[in-house]
Amino acid sequence: MFNTEFIAFDSYAPPRVVTNDDLSKLVDTSDEWISSRTGISQRHISEGENTSEICIKVAEGLLKKSGLAPDEIDLIIVATITPDFATPNTACLVQAAIGAENAFAFDISAACSGFVFASSIADKYIKSGMCKNAIVIGAETLSKIVNWEDRTTCVLFGDGGAGVVMSRGERNCYLAEDMHSDGSLGLRLTGGETKVRNAYSAPEEADRRYLEMDGRTIFNFSTKRVPASINILLDKAGLTIDDIDYVVPHQANSRIVEVVAKKLGISMDRFYMNIASYGNTSAASIPMALAQMDREGLLKKGTKLVITGFGGGLTWGSALIEI
């Protein structure tokens, strides 16, 4: 069995910044209402760039930072719930754009857990010997499935993408994982529904295109499942929370993270948060945080991180990685 290392991080967000005050001109809300309930101050919103274009910029940055040539990439995985098309998949569009002719490419859809699940998949391909270098990206253009007249959801989400290069190396840096799903609660968070409409079926109901969320259920689910998952993960690795340098959670809501921190018995200082600047970017949120940590010099060799995602599906999962 081979070892998996993390060798590069990068991110990209559309340049248009939309503040809470900007949103107050669109819907009945305010900066105080949004920031006090979510921890969000602003978000980046696409003015035309689609998910594949965001991913391509991330992939180009990852190649530059890793020093790898496009033909050295064996695998590309994109985690997203907002692809450009049902087919071709977003990862194939990335593969073509960067010239990674030797890579096979596919998308996964696991919403806010998507990056955690995708990095787990890449780790298995590398450890099995099937791949040497993988690009794993989480990216979303959530603004295209948000109802901009619904103040309960439009204030939460942003656009952006980020990713990592995972490669065969001398050290094992993907140390443990804990992954779960509960489809019985799946309809508590939905988006992008497409009903059967053909020559033999014409449903009267409109498609539920926009994101819809039972906020209370999602809050209760997250604050129960996430600390339990992290504790299971640490037990598997034979570590305690005191051995971890940072917990990097899906950036969903600062109140959720505060409850998780309390249940784990640690301070919020141990959680890396950038939700104030980007909002909830679903599958992009964890890698965007990792990329920012890298720019800030926080990801030094030997740094131990717990990454934990939770959201639509419902899905949740955590992984222990070492830089």
Q: Answer whether 230's CB lies under 8 Å from 264's CB.
A: yes
If you search the block for the tokens 């993390």, which residue do you land on? Answer: 6
Active site residue 112: yes
Q: Answer whether 37's CB lies under 8 Å from 153's CB.
A: no
**Half-sphere exposure for 161 (CA within 13 Å, toward CB):** 34
Per-residue 3-state assignment (H helix, E strand, C coil) for 227-239: HHHHHHHHHHHCC
Residue type, 66: S
Residue 320 pairs with which residues in a beta bridge? 176, 306
Q: Answer whether 140's CB lies under 8 Å from 312's CB.
A: no
Active site residue 92: no
* Paired sense of beta strands 75-79 and 104-108, if any: parallel
* Catalytic choice (20, 131, 133, 250): 250
Tokens of 167: 């490669």
Question: Count of CB atoms within 10 A of residue 217's CB?
Answer: 13
Q: Supply the Cα-derived Rg of the chain in whole angstroms.
A: 19
Report how far residue 250's alpha carbon sits from residue 138's, in angstroms, rounded to the nearest whole number.
12
Report how far residue 310's alpha carbon sits from residue 312's, in angstroms, rounded to the nearest whole number.
7
Tokens of 91: 């990862």
Preceding amide of 314 cis, omega within 30: yes
Active site residue 274: no
* Catalytic choice (112, 131, 154, 173): 112
Q: Where are the beta strands (DSSP E) in the chain?
A: 3-12, 17-19, 42-44, 75-79, 104-108, 133-141, 159-169, 174-181, 189-190, 212-213, 246-249, 304-311, 315-322
- Residue 103: helix, strand or coil by DSSP? coil
* Residue positions annotated with a catalytic role: 112, 250, 280
